[in-house]
Chain A
Amino acid sequence: MTIDSPLVERRRKPRPDTWLPDFCSLPVLFALLIVAELVVLVILLAPHRAGAPALQRVFVASVYVQWLAVCCAFCLCRLRPAIARLPVARGVAMAYASVVAIVALGSALVYWIDHATGMDLTVPADNALRFVGGSTLIAALVAAAAFRYFYVQAQWQRGVQAHARAQVAALQARIRPHFLFNSMNTIASLIRTRPQDAERAVEDLGELFRATLRGGEGASTLAAEIELVEHYLAIERLRFGERLGVAWRIDGLPRELAVPPLLLQPLVENAVLHGIQPLAEGGSILIEGTVEAGSVRIMVRNPRPARPPPLARGNRSAIDNIRQRLFYHYGSAGRLELEEGAGYYAATLTIPRA
């Protein structure tokens, strides 16, 4: 599965989770040297009074810039653990300052050696400020661009990882072995006595698993989600018989509203699992939709046993998963609120209308 790869990557190579790439690793170092060389070529190819750059100039400038780049890489590699511990803003400042300082000192050193040995490879004497200042300024600009790039890439990677984790969690939360095997047992029972009901139950189970295996991906509509809940309740009604009552009050809901899939059905499943199953006499689940100015609210309310039995410990993973996906789609405008009252439990979804 492709969604696994970022997680596998992380497991294989444990490292502090930081925006700054590891400059000790060969691929990063190689990329840095390429970028440094490109900077050299850009500078030398710029229209210049001196005419076309001589090969010797390219060579000398490359050695100089590559040397500075290696120095910076070495320094950033060493500083990386410390930077990883700092808050992002201070980490960026520290990394940036160290790069600028290294280039300033390095260029000053090169200028001094050049003139002390009389090789005259850099710039004519008395131009120290131009040489050191120019080098430092170019490094500062390139480093700013590079750090911005690193930061954005780290953010993007973090987003991808969070998304992958949410998907894995969704699959795990959705595959409830109890439900699967109990449903198959029900179907096995129906095949003998009521083959047509058995057929319907297989179809309903098929719809449910199709939706589950999509793992909450893609887009759906409120109408499709309500239909999915109906498929699910049809199966549970076979299992629980008269113990399971359902009241729908959803007349005003905009059925064509686009919503992420699998937000509503897990809430109804929780209501059955924690509200109906523990009660010997059963009870009724209320599904109520209200339309407000900018949003749609859907409440799933179930009766609750006075003393929840030890087996029916709340399974929060479905709730966490729904909240994650609401946030992913709607930011803070999508909410899931839970309310525990005397003898009842209510979960309310708030979905903004685009």
Chain B
Amino acid sequence: MRLLIADDEPLARERLRALIGELGGIEVAGEAADGREVLTQCATLQPDCVLLDIAMPVMDGLEAARHLTGFDPPPAVIFCTAYDEHALAAFEASAVDYVVKPVRRERLSAALERARRFTGEQYRAVGERLGAVPQRTHICARLRGNLKLVPVADVAYFLAEDKYVAVRHAGGEVLVEESLKALEDEFGERFVRIHRNCLVATDRLSGLRRTPDGRMFADVRDAPEPLEVSRRNLPALRRLVKSL
């Protein structure tokens, strides 16, 4: 079994590595110091299991685990936490195991044994539990094997196209397989619906304009061109632009 160790504290990683070395039969494929690194490492190293600390900078372990449910195949996740009773309560009954710090060797061994028997089917149940986790801080795009992480704060708009949603951000554009409705539900306070197929970050809206043929367009910073506003969403958008 190949394992990824994720913890922002070097000494904590060092200890896990030592314990795993003593257990034998497990290869430590790599280490990560924050949630973003977990995802990029998982995309390249494809470990079978991740030992995941919950309190990490940039992206915490819970969010990283949530993104991992979208991986194919998803790695088994063992949460590793100092003290997080709420998080633990959420995972107590799930297929994912957890260990508490300071980590005991026997406990870690049992958790790894469970991870060995882990199937992708079980992970879907976990994914449902993780749905209750607070908003994601990043959008994770994994099309054609390439992993791209976009901070939600950098997103200018989501535009639905066929079966994908295009995520336009300060540095370009990525495609994700998520529904616009789900994105709106999750990030509703940051984004506003301007069209059936488009959500725009309210802090990127700079104005509205009408074309000679009577159609309305919104000026959005970081967008290559103005985005069309539907008649239905116009009144609410007008009020919003006025209040900005």
- A-side residues, CB < 8 A to B, are 177-178, 180-182, 184-190, 192-193, 238-241, 277-280, 305-307, 309-311
Contact = CB atoms under 8 A, between A and B. Distances in A.
Nearest to B15: A189
Nearest to A281: B57
B202 interface: no
Interface of B: 8-12, 14-15, 18, 33-34, 36, 54-55, 57-60, 82-84, 100-103, 134-135, 137, 151, 153
A307 B137 contact: yes
A181 B18 contact: no
B55 A192 contact: no
Contacts of B10: 241
Interface of A is mostly: helix
A182 B34 contact: no
Contacts of B8: 240, 277, 280
26 contacts: A177-B82, A178-B55, A180-B83, A182-B9, A185-B11, A186-B11, A186-B12, A188-B15, A189-B14, A189-B18, A190-B11, A192-B18, A239-B11, A239-B12, A240-B8, A241-B9, A241-B10, A277-B8, A277-B55, A278-B58, A280-B58, A305-B57, A307-B137, A307-B151, A309-B59, A310-B137
By Cβ-Cβ distance, the 7 closest A-B pairs, closest first, are A189-B15, A185-B101, A177-B83, A181-B82, A189-B11, A185-B102, A188-B102
B57 A278 contact: yes
A179 to B, nearest CB: 8
B14 A193 contact: yes
B137 A185 contact: no
A10 to B, nearest CB: 29
A103 to B, nearest CB: 61
Given A184-B101, A309-B60, A309-B137, A178 B11 contact: no
A185 B57 contact: no
B102 A280 contact: no
B58 A178 contact: no
Given A241-B9, A280-B34, A307-B137, 14 more contacts: A178-B84, A181-B101, A184-B101, A185-B102, A185-B103, A186-B12, A187-B102, A189-B11, A240-B9, A278-B58, A279-B57, A307-B153, A309-B59, A310-B60
**Most chain A Cβ neighbours within 10 Å, of B14, B15, B36, B60:** B15
Nearest to A187: B102
Nearest to A276: B57
Contacts of A310: 60, 134-135, 137
Contact of B57 (A182, A241, A277): A277
Contacts of A192: 15, 18
A314 B8 CA distance: 20
A140 B101 CA distance: 68
A280 B12 CA distance: 16
Contacts of B60: 309-311
A19 to B, nearest CB: 42
B67 to A, nearest CB: 15
A145 B119 CA distance: 80
Contacts of A238: 11
Contacts of A280: 8, 33-34, 36, 57-58
B108 to A, nearest CB: 12
B126 to A, nearest CB: 19
A192 B135 CA distance: 39
A181 B9 contact: no
Contacts of B14: 189, 193
A241 B83 CA distance: 21
B14 to A, nearest CB: 5
B34 A185 contact: no
Contacts of A278: 57-58
